[in-house]
A = this chain, B = another copy of it.
Amino acid sequence: MIVAESIKEIRAFVAGAREAGREPVGVVPTMGALHEGHYSLIDAARRQCQAVVVSLFVNPTQFGPSEDFRSYPRPIEADLAGCEAHGVDAVFHPPVEVMYPGGAATTVHVSRPAERLCGASRPGHFDGVCTVVAKLFHIVGAEAAYFGQKDYQQTVVVRRMVADLDMPVRIVVCPTVREPDGLAMSSRNAYLSGPERSQAVALVESLRLAGRLVEQGCRQASDVVAAMREHLRRRVPAGRIDYVEIVDPETLEGVETIDAPAVAAVAVRFGSARLIDNMRVDAPARSG
């Protein structure tokens, strides 16, 4: 496994892999602090691609001024060991000044689907995500890129960008990996205190509740959201609800009546940690 800190090095690796016939190339963009969720993406890339590049880069431009950029975990030795163990061929781990040298003035902006949910709570977040992902795609030049369903809105926004800009890369979305109690794996779970960690399971509980209600015939999104909010309020006294929504899977617009596949999405703050989760909620097909 090689570790590249410069754009030139990672491009040389990819060019070499291509010359050796190792195609397609897959890329797994991450901010490091890798957990089983990330490793499931790497494993999927390993199965589908002949060369796998993982980027480890805590991207400053997707953090708001009062967010956790400085404190975001950076366990680089453990991440590199994990990549090695999972058969990664090359790690791209650039310093900030390699990705953002002075004078940069370009932003990739996705409007509608990026403005709702997390985009409403974190202004500029998805501009930062899209811009750094576009850069990574141009730097690595992979045929496929792997993202986790946990960051559902991110997958929608990145797919939108790729489609709109005709980027020659296939976006692969892999299922959310969960702790035994159901909590979605996230690098930010490390921020939780003991009591917060116990309460955090309420996010997935509220999503499963939504799924059950819809399955049982509840079609009013407002009723489902009310039940989810009630569950969260009861189970998460330490947390502050950021949003609870039932949205269209592509546009991320809120839906009123659940008569087509929809996505339930929640975000809850615990102190400085902000946890998100989501789940598909489908009305069963009507018979007769």
Binding site for B on A (CB under 8 A): 7, 11, 103-114, 130-131, 134-135, 138-139, 141, 160-161, 163-168
Contacts and interface: CB of A to CB of B under 8 A. Distances in A.
Nearest to A112: B105
Q: How many copies does the complex hold?
A: 2
A131 B168 contact: no
A113 B134 CA distance: 20
A105 B164 contact: yes
Contacts of A7: 166
B111 A161 contact: no
Contact of A166 (B109, B138, B161, B167): B138
B105 A165 contact: no
A135 B166 contact: yes
Contacts of A112: 105
Contacts of A107: 108-109, 111
22 contacts: A7-B166, A11-B168, A104-B163, A104-B164, A105-B111, A105-B112, A105-B114, A105-B160, A105-B164, A106-B108, A106-B109, A106-B111, A106-B130, A106-B160, A106-B164, A106-B165, A108-B108, A138-B165, A138-B166, A138-B167, A139-B166, A141-B168
A168 B169 CA distance: 14
A240 B85 CA distance: 68
Contacts of A134: 165
A131 B7 CA distance: 24
B135 A165 contact: yes
A25 to B, nearest CB: 13
A161 B110 contact: no
A160 B105 CA distance: 7
B105 A168 contact: no
Contacts of A104: 163-164
A77 to B, nearest CB: 27
A141 B168 CA distance: 9
